[in-house]
Amino acid sequence: MSHAFDVIVIGAGHNGLTAAAYLGRAGRRVLVLERRSVVGGCAVTEEVDPVAAPGCRVSTASYVASMLRPEVTRDLELARHGLRMVPCDPGVQIALPEGVVVPWWGDSERCRNELARHSVRDADRFIELDRELKALAGFLEPFFMESPPDLYATGIRRWREAGRVLRRMHRIRGAEIGRLLQFFTGSLGDLLEREFESDVIRRLILANNTYGKHGGPYQSGSATGLLFHLLSGGEKKAQGFQGHVIGGMGAITQAMAAACRAQKVELRTDAAVAKISLRDGRATGVVLENGMELSASIVVSNCDPKRTFLTLVDQDALDPAFRSAVECIRMAGPAAKVNFVLDREPAVRGMPAGHTAAERSFFTLVPTLQGAEDCYNLAARGELPADLWVDCVMASNVDPTLATAGRHMLTCFVQYVPWQLKEGNWDLRRDELGDSVVRKIGAYAPGFADSVIARRVLTPLDLERTFGITEGNIFHGDLSLDQLFFMRPLPGWSQYRTPIGGLYLCGAGTHPGGGVTGAPGHNAAQRILRDLQP
């Protein structure tokens, strides 16, 4: 054994860093191990092409700070460690094929006036629905920063768990419970067709649904994303907050790394873990790929559940039924990223002349409701849809330091692509995806293809290889009702503990799920500290 620590955290993604910082703040000796040469996991800022465009950086994977928890920002003093976020306004903005751009402004009256151009009735209903959704999201908010209810508790703990839920929900009325159930189990497509007559406004709301989730808008549970995106974020705990991070998303994890170092947490990069060491059914440390053994009384995995239990833990150490349940967790990442260096900003048709550079930084190329459903169904069959859903962020419009003189940075999230292709493989068809995204943007911004200096395409397979997330699933498991709350990652194991003593999970595969929130890392650290109390 080369050294001994109280806690070893596997993976320096934002949740791993969050957990480490809280544990270090509590006086524990913590070591964080990262397989890559840079900390940050999927929240990193990197050059797109160091040869063709040196010095031009972009948020490689995650790209907007929408739900970073205010508690984490405050507790870890991330602003003091250099984090700066600029609110996105509009937070959502769609570009339509007919050359119309529709922004979703943060100010309700301004938003109402904008949408009234398309339907006065729908504009009023839009504001009403937004207000209702925020109220419903408020009931869910307290559960975000704590362990989900433990349905398997017994004795007095069972009554305590019931009391905790009642305290959180005692003000909710029957009608509100009914609406929550409608959003959790209902179809977004049916909801929007029932509530709105304007296809434009339907598409605007569709564009703010949960990204990276399985299922088209007409599938059950697809309305959940409307609530998910209205949970609080930002330093001031604003509902529905979205922020451009100065320095890219890597600035979040660099600030977290600084917070860790301030608590004497040790961070090691280029330190890939080969397996978790076990003795008498308990985790005792890790073995690195280079053969080095490191000991600790607690091991915390920021890896997804499949990578943790099916790769890092010996098969014989787990009950076969548990392993089988882990194998059944739905992953099959349905999203990709394409990052560009450009010599000019895309000239999106219909972009209002009065928009500032920051207001031009968002534009989503979103299909109709049926088009999105068709897109998902094609991807589910292993086909690459010809008409893609592409979410575009001109990051350098808000943060010019990301690009060198005369260059512009565009990052694109591509929704509904297959994890496993029916024909060929991603190594052969990577450029096909990149070319399809270029054509898609060019249909809305003529001349776009000629502006491309460099690009980097990250297929679901590339996301797995680069960031170590199984099957390229950015949420470490689909955000569906049967894989949320006390069902995440598995029924009976939602409290961040695992069947192996001393081994915990802290990543997005645990409650409350994906997104750059810090909530799973925070909650896991609190659970560990409670378990360590005498």
Per-residue model confidence as pLDDT tens digits over 317-372: 999 999 999 999 999 999 999 999 999 999 999 999 999 999 999 999 999 999 99
DSSP 413-449: EEES--SS-SSS-HHHHHHHHHHHHHHHHHHHSTTHH
Q: Which residue has the tokens 């069947």?
A: 499
Q: Which residue has the tokens 């605007």?
A: 204
Provide the whole-model pTM: 0.95
The average confidence (pLDDT) of the chain is 94
Per-residue model confidence as pLDDT tens digits over 480-534: 888 999 999 999 999 999 999 999 999 999 999 989 999 999 999 999 999 999 8
Nearest to 456 by CA among 475, 480, 438: 438
Residue 427's pLDDT is 97
pLDDT at 1 over 70: no
Residue 2's pLDDT is 47
pLDDT confidence tier of residue 158, bands split at 50, 70 and 90: confident
Mean pLDDT of all residues in 387-407:
97
Write out the two tokens for 342: 């450009």
Q: Which residue has the tokens 């001349």?
A: 447
DSSP symbol at 211: T
Q: Which helix (H) or strand (E) holds 185?
A: helix 174-185
pLDDT confidence tier of residue 3, bands split at 50, 70 and 90: low
Q: Which residue has the tokens 């003189």?
A: 405
Per-residue model confidence as pLDDT tens digits over 290-307: 999 999 999 999 999 999
Residue 151's pLDDT is 85
Per-residue model confidence as pLDDT tens digits over 435-480: 999 999 999 999 999 999 999 999 999 999 999 999 999 999 998 8
Contact yes or no for 308/380 (Cβ under 8 A): no
Whether residue 489 is preceded by a cis peptide bond, meaning omega within 30 degrees of 0, is yes
Domains of the chain, by residue range, sit at 4-43+249-329+476-532
Nearest to 415 by CA among 373, 361, 466, 465: 373
Residue 367's pLDDT is 95
468: alpha, beta or left, given left = phi > 0 and alpha = psi -120 to 50? Answer: left
Mean pLDDT of all residues in 73-95:
96
Beta strands in 246-332 (DSSP E): 266-268, 273-279, 282-288, 293-301
| Lowest-confidence segment of 71-75, 92-96, 144-148, 523-527 by average pLDDT | 144-148
Which is it for the CA torsion 213, 214, 217, 220, positive or negative? negative
Which residues fall within 8 angstroms of residue 533, CB to CB, at 6 or more apart?
A: none
Residue 300's pLDDT is 98
- Express the helix, strand and coil content of the chain in percent, nearest 5 each: 40, 20, 45
The long-range contacts involving 425-434, CB below 8 angstroms and separated by at least 24 positions, are: 425/461, 426/459, 426/460, 426/461, 426/462, 427/461, 429/384, 429/459, 430/457, 430/459, 430/462, 431/457, 432/384, 433/336, 433/338, 433/384, 433/457, 433/459, 434/338
Contact yes or no for 145/518 (Cβ under 8 A): no
Q: Which residue has the tokens 């509100």?
A: 176
Per-residue model confidence as pLDDT tens digits over 54-77: 999 999 999 999 889 999 999 999
Residue 160's pLDDT is 86
Q: What is the CATH number of domain 4-43+249-329+476-532?
A: 3.50.50.60
Q: Which residue has the tokens 């920063």?
A: 145
Length, in residues, of the chain: 534
Which is it for the CA torsion 416, 431, 446, 353, positive or negative? positive
| Lowest-confidence segment of 135-139, 277-281, 500-504 by average pLDDT | 135-139
Per-residue model confidence as pLDDT tens digits over 427-440: 999 999 999 999 99
User: CA 8: distance to chain centroid?
Assistant: 24
Q: Give the SS3 label for residue 103.
A: strand
> Cα(440)–Cα(448) distance, rounded to whole angstroms?
10
